[in-house]
Structure 1
């Protein structure tokens, strides 16, 4: 038996999970995705391009729950609705159009890190593990019963991009492994106990501003969590915004000869960020206006 699905998808997880549905023989009757925002750094693959390659009907509505969208989904006559990193909440009325249920892929181990940008938040909070969760969609975000989860490690020096790559594979594995039972109506529904988890909203580029009075580990987590292609953790010197693109925690002992002010300092021909707990972060790549700069350029920038 062939099942029909309407797929709301965007970003890398959207691409990979759409490919899983096609590989498993699901008939994708309609793809709903987003127009790329020209103001955003688009570093991920395109759901629209993948849908075009497979000649799948595709729409890009500006409103998530318009009457036109509802009509298009109803006309597609779906057995299932799937949401894979689609950026808008879907109304209960829309979800009800799927005869056998509506399911979302979320980039955390629910109920932890419900809401926006879960990978970035997990790194910011120093987590050592995250993953992907397939769950039922409800009116409340990331609150429905859990079908399946796959965990991945967050290593001490992993950036958000590296963790996101792992989560993308985890999402693909989760969907691939659970889809046969889901299609046959035999998939589990595990409790998603929200009181045991957490919810976080979106982040803005300004949230990457470094407070050098904080401990080194906290600052390093921020650097990892928003490292390019995300907007980056930054500090300002004489009105110039400097983005720390790549760094490592320095050895635990304070820098010899310290008595230096907090923030960016050159010591023994190496650039460090001196932190509030006396520890330091070794800065390996520093950007100004989107371009990597050398130590000499840093010195010149900060003394002009």
Structure 2
């Protein structure tokens, strides 16, 4: 079977390897040029293509007549999208004889749209996963082919959950491909009325509102912890970014009553006091890009 694959990041790398292991002829890979302003902490699809001798391109816009003509000339049996960042036009999807399918990082229909893992952690979900689904005009709206769930533990960061979802995506694709190759692709309902849709997130969305309950502040930290831009707060013209934190009342004894909300130093440890009176224990804190000690923070706060 011949496939044209749109792919980026770890999910793109792993799912490409699954297609190769299942014997697919990868006629073309469409990927992205890395953004020099973005922290590149993920695997490279283009590097994999160079290693395996797979033709690849990285156009700025996949919705051009030229790309559609190029894909049509290849006459693919399948089109796959694995964490490719752009919506693909319906006319392009129609070039695949046996259908076009996307791997999404949630258990659809929940968390359709952008950065689903970060949103799931932010909202305190305990489960997420990977879903292979048909591509349609609306994002993440086509019939569900297969999905695999993974747990989100109470202290998991989005980065840690992302690692689990990469494995779930690999398993999902590996397990369902035999049926798809046999012409028996499962098509389960994707009831959008039972789900949710979210847009992208920006670094500015990581600003901490210390009036929120501690669990919500902790979820924000987990959702944007490094290698993402981080949860941050500006105090006395200094920008503080939480690198490592933990939420446990047992680790913060003798918390003085009526501490102001925000960053504080208690028993030579940095804490973040929240709206419900509970506090995060902050194990690593940056101030203007440099690690700050409890003593240095105390001097800033005076």
| TM-score where L is the length of structure 1 | 0.96
- Number of equivalences: 301
Give the conservation status (yes or no) of the 8 Å contact 2:28–2:55: yes
Who is 2:279 aligned against? 280
Is 1:290 aligned with 2:289?
Answer: yes
What's the secondary structure of 2:249's corresponding residue? coil
Q: Which runs of 5+ in 1 are unaligned?
A: none
Who is 2:57 aligned against? 59
Give the conservation status (yes or no) of the 8 Å contact 2:8–2:32: yes
What's the secondary structure of 1:162's corresponding residue? helix
Who is 1:234 aligned against? 232
70-79 or 143-152: bigger deviation: 70-79
Who is 1:118 aligned against? 116
| TM-score where L is the length of structure 2 | 0.97
Backbone CA RMSD of aligned residues: 1.3
Who is 1:164 aligned against? 162
What's the secondary structure of 1:121's corresponding residue? helix
Who is 1:179 aligned against? 177
> Equivalent residues in 2 for 1:91-170 (5 A)?
91-170=89-168
Q: CA deviation digits over 1:118-162, x for unaligned, max 9?
A: 000000100000000000000000000000000000000000000
Distance 1:116 1:238 in 2: 34
What's the secondary structure of 1:8's corresponding residue? strand
Who is 1:7 aligned against? 5
Who is 1:212 aligned against? 210
Distance 1:174 1:22 in 2: 15
What's the secondary structure of 1:257's corresponding residue? coil
Quote the offset at 1:300 in angstroms. 4.0
Quote the offset at 1:301 in angstroms. 4.3
33-42 or 242-251: bigger deviation: 242-251
Quote the offset at 1:184 in angstroms. 1.2
Give the conservation status (yes or no) of the 8 Å contact 1:148–1:174: yes
